[in-house]
Structure 1
Amino acid sequence: MPSIRNSTAFRVFKRRADSLKGNALASDMHKPALKKFVYFLTVGISPLLAAGVLGGVAHAQNAPTPEASPLLKSTPSERPVITPAEGYVVGEDGLTQDGAYVEADEVVTESENVIVARGNVEVRHHGRIIRADMVRYDKTTGKTLAQGNAVMINPDGSTQYADTLEVNEDLTAGYGTNFASVQPDNTKIFAERVERRDEDTNVLNNALYTPCEICVKPGEPTKGPTWSFQAGEIIQDKKRNVVIYKNAIFKMRGVPLFYTPILWHADPSAKASSGLLMPKIGSSQRRGMSYEQPYLWVISPYQDLVISPQFNEKVAPLLNTTWRRRFYSGDVTVRAGYTREAFFDNDGNKWGEKADRSYILADGEFKINPDWRWSFTAERVSDSGSANFFERYQVGDVYEYRGVFTPGSRQLISQINLTRQTDTAFVSATMATFQNLRIAALQDIGTSSNRPVAGSNKRYPLVAPVIEAQWNPINEFAGGRFKFNASGVALFREDYVGDPIAPDDSDGTSGYDSARLTLGAEWRRDFVTNHGIKAAPFLSARHDQYRIDDLDSAGRSANVSRSLATAGLDLSYPMIRKFDGFDVVLTPIAQLAVSPKSKSSSLIPNEDSQVFEYDETTLFKANKSPGYDLYEGGARASLGLKAQVQLDDGTTLKTLVGRTFRNEVEDTYLLTATSPAGVKVSYDPSGLAKTSSDWVVTSDFKTGDGGYYGYSKLRLDSEDGGIRRGEVGFTVNRPNTVATVRYIVDNTAVQWDTTNTVVTGFEGSRYEDVQLYARHFFTKNWGASMRINRDLKTDSWRRSEISAIYRDDCTWVEVVYERDETAILGNTNGKASSGISLRLNLAILGSSGSDFNDIR
């Protein structure tokens, strides 16, 4: 196969590449005047060149004599404007629909039906431009032949170069020799000969295909592409949207790496086409060598299917599929997988019998009309009670936000939702079930390792249904606005769920069922006083009705009702002062609220307010509980100070300090902790129960160019100032460097002595992590990245990776080392899991691998 650097097509490509940077005709106008014939025609391309000559014949009765022709006498900059005949539509290039523009140093008639233009020839027609040393047009065959440095520029921006180009009248057939083509996406094709058999089929002989840049510098050897496909024959079949290579060789930096007698992939010029996607290649202790080959099947313009079998050295294959379908009113995505294999540990040791194992991750959303829509998710895994199916097979993007409701970490949810939303009203109804993948126990499987067993799903409720409704009337009342809301939920459990969810009156012998109905109203008025103080008085009231069944094995039931009310006032006073180079804004904030003292009932469960954050988002909320089951009572005042500094270059610094004071201890926020010895104690993990709450301290900064950003969110103990909860982060975003580091800590656990009977403190560590993502390119092409998740409490590395990267204009190659020491019940599941994988992205052909997206 000939070298690309020595081909005539490449020399033509190299010589004429500069012509793409501007209008060559315009530049010709400033060259020393040559004797040129310029024809601006309003007749069809049928006489592509002949029309230029025969225009003087066919319309001789109207044509001036050659001596008097303004076209011959005018200089290029003085060429006259010729108005097309009435009724012709003029395009952007000034040509009528079938008009043509021809320019050449010389035009001659070789015979009655053959017209030849020589010397700096340029032809424009139907948005296409042909340039060559010589162009010959045959009226009889309708063929146009361009020879010598031939260039064709198409309306889509693609450009072809050749020694010879021949096309028929409608450009549906033709051929070229020593051919080169540059597509709008920068894809390049070189061939000794190209033949356009019809409008759907192009055939190239001794061809090379690459999307990479080919560097040409004066006085230096030509730098070939990073990668390319060479083939004895390449067939582009636009009808089937496929490109077929015969006797194909894949080369990297000119070195042959792969040969196949036949190869095909999707046609890059097609909007959507079937074909192989980039494979995923890796090696791990669990599965040994692994190769996953996705295939995209475009079923229709609105439907496709990706079939992606994963072949493993140590374990049976896993078949992954992704089906997508777009309907007139919405869309559906279904991911599913299946294998038949026994459980295997981090070293690939198998345990137990082979069994069918599968998963489904599906979601869809549909619009019924402008106000109504419905959606669903379906998430399930079948793995004989094991909790780490997705980790064993490295199935990514599992714990994502797909539906209206999102479960906790390592939980799957299946739900269906119906929603109506207008400018003033909202109503939503949802039914849902859960699958728990949290680790409940470790089963000894006799391989110096353990099988992580998922917790029981029976402790999780069937939600049937949960309903939320809100109405915001547009009319004002007493200068303010009303908001009315309603909420209802019915929950059904098979097993007892325990503290802190279950009602105290439940004896723990059976799963209880509960239902709640809430009706409420709120009124608020916002105004600004003459002194600039922003004030907002508010009132709220609501009524809750509960029904609890199966409180014990005898099926005891109970009804509970309660009514709540709150009155309050929000105040803030922004103050600004300008200095030389920066501005300062100080805003004291206060919220005063009073409610009847909260009265907890031993019959009411805590389903929707188990965990919440006392931070800057809840500091100035009258009821800091996120749900309905808990509510805040008594008299309280939340006080804080906001400060903001903004520099003239756009850099901003913000901070907030605040806390809440109340007239008496709020028992609502106290939880019960039980030691391993069975001793119970009340404690306050939220920092809100005492008369003086914990301190909320937040701050952040961002540079004017957006290159640096940092933040901190701290909750400090009300007595000693120690960190109860905290998160600190810093981000760098520069041309060659992207990095984010985050530190999170929670010190709200109860501390027990060695006998687990005596409390020694309430600042025990729940978790403490450092997370780092960084990517830096040391040169234009070479870089490295890392994702690190360090568990400081267990002194172990969670899922982390480090990689080396090579990139250029058409290639991204990443060699990744990954390690997972995730602690399970204080145990790393026997041995850490590690592996090496290859992430490859070749321009046009797609990518393999993925980032960390399991964020839920």
Structure 2
Amino acid sequence: MTTGVAIIAIVAVASVAAAQVAGIDESDLPQDAQMLLAADTLVYDNDRNTITAVGGVQIEYGGYRVVAQRVTYDRTTSRVIGSGNVEIIDQDGNRYHADEIDLTDDLGEGFIRALRVETIEKTYFGAESAEREGGRITTFNKGVYTACEPCEENPNRPPLWQIKAQKIIWNGERKTVRFQNARFEMFGLPIAYLPFFEVADPTVERKSGFLMPSVLGGSERGYGLKVPYYFALSPTFDLTVSVTGYTKQGFLGEAEWRQQFNNGQYNLRIAGIRQRNPEEWATTEVDGNETDRGMVASKGDFQINPRWSTGWNIMVQSDKNFSRSYDIEGYSEAVHRSEVYLTGLDDRNYFDLRGYRFQVQESAVTGGRNDAQPLVLPNLDYSYTPDRSVAGGELTIDVNAQSLYRDEGMYGTKLQGLEGNSGRFTTEAEWRRSFVTSAGLVVTPILHARGDSIFTDYSQNAVGQIQSFTINGMTTESEVRSAYYRSMATAGIEARWPILFSAAGSAHIIEPMAQLFARPDEPYHDRLGIPNEDAQSLVFDATTLFERDKFSGYDRIEGGTRANLGIRYSGSFANGWTAHGLFGQSYQLAGDNPYDSPDLVNVGAYSGLETDVSDYVGLVGVSLPNGLAFSTGVRLDEETFDLKRADVRAGGAVGPVTANLQYAFIESQPLYGFDEDRQEVSGHASIRFHQNWRGFASGTFDIESRTLVKNSFGFAYDDECFTYLMSFSQERDGVTGERENSFGFTISLRTLGDFGSSSAGLSSFTAQ
């Protein structure tokens, strides 16, 4: 019986050591667990009233394992004393080493000398001695903490970083760890001193307290220090508040509330500032004309059931540039999309209903794009594909509805947006079935039908803009109606003949392909009253050559009889190389060409489709087994083969170097709003010149204006416990020559947190 008491007391030592660092409670020890004791000698000293296990002591109990040279239980004082390379392994695999332990069997009082801890999370802790008082507070004297693994070649070498403290006090009741007279060391050299700081017990996932601060900077804002505080209010909701003090603009306050449910979560974020020196910005900028600024935003995502989900992402701010100017997390992008949505997905069927508005964050006081952004409510997309075949083929039914309102129009060489209301309801169905002949020819008949209902309620100003709109100096039919109804029926056929042939060490597939679509002319193709909101961008290239309708949205539809011809190629080689390509052309065979018809945004101008015989389009791609890849896509004039559009990409990883390069060329499109050619080359490269060190750089060069539009470079160090990143970037305005420099750094200490600066501009000046 006394032996059992002794063993239980010895195992209690393991519990204490675990509790001191990993927060394991002594109540975790099972009361009915089987105990195994192995020792060279077990000595009963009745005179001293002790029981001692000597020589290679090994104890296993309740998932704990204790190894020592000598363990003694004093029945008079109820103390357990262990000595000689004491090692304790707890239920989770954490290891605790000590030269000597001396504890009461009720775990309330005790002393440990030369404690070292290795946790399964690869964190390390040590102390010259440890004392436990009152069963709740453990004090580590001259403690050391790090998350860096010891060097295998030289274990005595200091870790990359560590925290040394005169005292480390673990409070088991409050679940906190307090460092007193602590200094932070890197490579064994002290770089910072803190009289005290306190962190949550490692067993606590969420605890109120200060988070790591961060440094912010900007020429107009001044330098700033952001200090956040976290409130762990409940297992399902919490709050983070922060104050940022800027040297030029004063104090910015922020708060974020987060709440979690079984089927989703949401957050609410607010931020505000009373600018002390708005004149730091130019008077032509919205930032320089505001004093009291703020925002309210919320995001939410909820899974209603396995098929349906709903959510929102909404931002409201005092002016159109606050969140971007002050880098509000999650809301500082150049264009923010506020929306609410309901989405359903079931096998091949899809439903999406949402309302949204684009918020362009820009600095211009007058003009700009933000005020002309529409409110879209609702926008509906529905797609249904029956599980069973229809007449042996596949039937797809699509529905799209859109209604929008604009307070202000977007006018210029194009009428990109019209004041007032407009809406459209579209239903379409497509059926297709493929037949394969004995010779390998694949023939696919295609039937398509579509109907649209369109309404408009434009302002008088918008009607005037439409009626006075000209294309290339020529007036067009400009009757504006309040309602339009249009339909389109298409009969098409597609033929593909893949031909496979092999050579020594390679296989190739050449596939001639042809499509023919017959349909009437586009309804109202010579009228400007029908709005074009979602089909303003048209890119004709090899990827869209075989599209039935090459317009990008529902507001424009293709009419007339058109043929698409081309040839595709793919090949694989024994050395691991692969290649693919496509080349072809499109032909308007009958009816009016929809890409040469009047349009409020001149969407078909210079598209390569505005003539009955289109430009040539093609692409070629090559992939190498070492990870390198190359691809290029071009559009060539159908008569002269002059280059109209090009996109060239190359990239991959070779050894320690990862790089990619992209070149883009677009010929001038005056009627589409671009009077000059556009040429741009951009690239990014990263090199790891050491196991833990890497450098990176990127840049974008405008060839036409001979301007390095933006560039950045930096370096980073990362290992299992520490990450450091420093970067510099610069952006230039090709017209004014104004530059904006940005500098940022991030230091990440595993288990402690991140500290760093934002990449906000540090200075702006006009280039000489």
Scaled by the length of structure 2, what TM-score is found? 0.83
Task: Give the aligned partner of residue 792 of structure 1.
Answer: 703
Contact 1:500–1:606, Cα closer than 8 Å, also in 2: no
Contact 1:469–1:487, Cα closer than 8 Å, also in 2: yes
Report the more deviating stretch, 721-730 or 595-604. 721-730
Amino acid paired to 1:841: S
Q: Matches of 1:734 and 1:123 in 2, distance apart?
A: 53
Q: What pairs with 1:46-445 in structure 2 (closer than 5 Å)?
A: 46=5, 48=7, 98-111=33-46, 114-137=50-73, 144-166=80-102, 174-196=110-132, 201-215=137-151, 217=153, 222-237=156-171, 240-281=174-215, 283-341=217-275, 342-343=277-278, 352=288, 355-383=291-319, 387=321, 389=322, 392-395=325-328, 398=331, 410-423=334-347, 425-437=349-361
Task: Give the aligned partner of residue 473 of structure 2.
Answer: none
Q: Sequence identity of aligned pairs in percent?
A: 28
Contact 1:174–1:195, Cα closer than 8 Å, also in 2: yes
Q: Matches of 2:602 and 2:127 in 1, distance apart?
A: 81
- Are residues 1:462 and 2:375 paired? yes
Contact 1:499–1:672, Cα closer than 8 Å, also in 2: no
Q: Structure 1 residues 394, 494: CA separation in 2 closer, same or farther (over 3 Å shift)?
A: closer
Contact 1:278–1:841, Cα closer than 8 Å, also in 2: no
User: Could you tell me how far 1:347 is from its partner in structure 2?
Assistant: 9.8
Q: Could you say what secondary structure the match of 1:844 adopts?
A: coil
User: Could you tell me how far 1:817 is from its partner in structure 2?
Assistant: 2.3
Which of 572, 579, 602 matches 2:528?
Answer: 602
Q: Could you say what secondary structure the match of 1:155 adopts?
A: coil
Paired residues in the alignment total 721
Report the more deviating stretch, 342-351 or 835-844. 342-351
Q: Could you say what secondary structure the match of 1:317 adopts?
A: strand
Task: Give the aligned partner of residue 587 of structure 1.
Answer: 511
Q: Structure 1 residues 321, 214: CA separation in 2 closer, same or farther (over 3 Å shift)?
A: same
Residues 579-632 of structure 1 show CA distances to partners (whole Å, capped at 9, x for unaligned) of 444433333333221211223133211111011332344222111112221111
Contact 1:566–1:595, Cα closer than 8 Å, also in 2: yes
Contact 1:724–1:763, Cα closer than 8 Å, also in 2: no
Amino acid paired to 1:771: S
Q: Matches of 1:798 and 1:637 in 2, distance apart?
A: 41
Q: Matches of 2:10 and 2:188 in 1, distance apart?
A: 48
- Are residues 1:519 and 2:440 paired? no
Which of 790, 812, 821 matches 2:723?
Answer: 812
Q: What pairs with 1:680-829 in structure 2 (closer than 5 Å)?
A: 684-704=605-625, 707-733=627-653, 736-750=656-670, 765=676, 767-823=678-734, 826-828=735-737
User: Could you tell me how far 1:727 is from its partner in structure 2?
Assistant: 3.0
Task: Give the aligned partner of residue 74 of structure 1.
Answer: none
Q: What pairs with 1:527-606 in structure 2 (closer than 5 Å)?
A: 527-550=435-458, 552=460, 558-599=482-523, 600=525, 601-606=527-532
User: Could you tell me how far 1:431 is from its partner in structure 2?
Assistant: 1.9
Residues 292-335 of structure 1 show CA distances to partners (whole Å, capped at 9, x for unaligned) of 33444433333344434333333323334444322122122444
Residues 140-159 of structure 1 show CA distances to partners (whole Å, capped at 9, x for unaligned) of 87764321111111222211
Q: Structure 1 residues 263, 660: CA separation in 2 closer, same or farther (over 3 Å shift)?
A: same
Which of 401, 408, 433 matches 1:488?
Answer: 401
Q: Matches of 2:131 and 2:51 in 1, distance apart?
A: 24
User: Could you tell me how far 1:282 is from its partner in structure 2?
Assistant: 5.2
Q: Matches of 1:173 and 1:695 in 2, distance apart?
A: 86
User: Could you tell me how far 1:489 is from its partner in structure 2?
Assistant: 1.9
Q: Structure 1 residues 140, 303: CA separation in 2 closer, same or farther (over 3 Å shift)?
A: farther
Residues 652-674 of structure 1 show CA distances to partners (whole Å, capped at 9, x for unaligned) of 33222233222158643248799
Q: Structure 1 residues 695, 128: CA separation in 2 closer, same or farther (over 3 Å shift)?
A: farther
Q: Matches of 1:532 and 1:640 in 2, distance apart?
A: 18
Q: Could you say what secondary structure the match of 1:684 adopts?
A: coil
Q: What pairs with 1:640-659 in structure 2 (closer than 5 Å)?
A: 640-648=566-574, 650-659=576-585
Q: Matches of 1:772 and 1:241 in 2, distance apart?
A: 50
Q: Structure 1 residues 234, 765: CA separation in 2 closer, same or farther (over 3 Å shift)?
A: farther
Q: What pairs with 1:32-51 in structure 2 (closer than 5 Å)?
A: 46=5, 48=7
Q: What pairs with 1:13-24 in structure 2 (closer than 5 Å)?
A: none
Q: Could you say what secondary structure the match of 1:48 adopts?
A: helix
Amino acid paired to 1:524: R
User: Could you tell me how far 1:515 is from its partner in structure 2?
Assistant: 1.9
Amino acid paired to 1:640: G
User: Could you tell me how far 1:378 is from its partner in structure 2?
Assistant: 0.6
Q: Give unmatched runs, 5+ long, in structure 1.
A: 1-40, 53-94, 401-409, 442-451, 675-679, 753-761
Amino acid paired to 2:638: S
Amino acid paired to 2:446: F
Q: Structure 1 residues 810, 606: CA separation in 2 closer, same or farther (over 3 Å shift)?
A: same
Contact 2:130–2:138, Cα closer than 8 Å, also in 1: yes
Q: Matches of 1:229 and 1:181 in 2, distance apart?
A: 14
Which has the higher relative contact order, 1 or 2, with Cα contacts under 8 A spaced 6 or more apart?
A: 1
Q: Matches of 2:643 and 2:212 in 1, distance apart?
A: 48
Amino acid paired to 2:94: S
Contact 1:202–1:236, Cα closer than 8 Å, also in 2: yes
Q: Structure 1 residues 247, 784: CA separation in 2 closer, same or farther (over 3 Å shift)?
A: same
Q: Matches of 1:289 and 1:114 in 2, distance apart?
A: 67
Amino acid paired to 2:165: A
Residues 362-389 of structure 1 show CA distances to partners (whole Å, capped at 9, x for unaligned) of 3222122233321211134433x5x5x4
Q: Structure 1 residues 171, 221: CA separation in 2 closer, same or farther (over 3 Å shift)?
A: closer
Amino acid paired to 1:697: G
Scaled by the length of structure 1, what TM-score is found? 0.75
Amino acid paired to 1:742: Q
Q: Give unmatched runs, 5+ long, in structure 2.
A: 12-29, 464-479, 761-768
Q: Could you say what secondary structure the match of 1:492 adopts?
A: strand
Q: Could you say what secondary structure the match of 2:594 adopts?
A: helix
User: Could you tell me how far 1:214 is from its partner in structure 2?
Assistant: 2.7
Contact 2:245–2:252, Cα closer than 8 Å, also in 1: yes
Q: Matches of 1:682 and 1:116 in 2, distance apart?
A: 92
Amino acid paired to 1:827: T
Q: Matches of 1:586 and 1:170 in 2, distance apart?
A: 82
Residues 234-263 of structure 1 show CA distances to partners (whole Å, capped at 9, x for unaligned) of 123465554321111112222222222211
Q: Structure 1 residues 280, 623: CA separation in 2 closer, same or farther (over 3 Å shift)?
A: same
Q: What pairs with 1:465-476 in structure 2 (closer than 5 Å)?
A: 465-476=378-389
Q: Matches of 1:175 and 1:169 in 2, distance apart?
A: 12
Q: Matches of 1:849 and 1:476 in 2, distance apart?
A: 58
Q: What's the C-alpha RMSD, in Å, of the aligned pairs?
A: 3.8
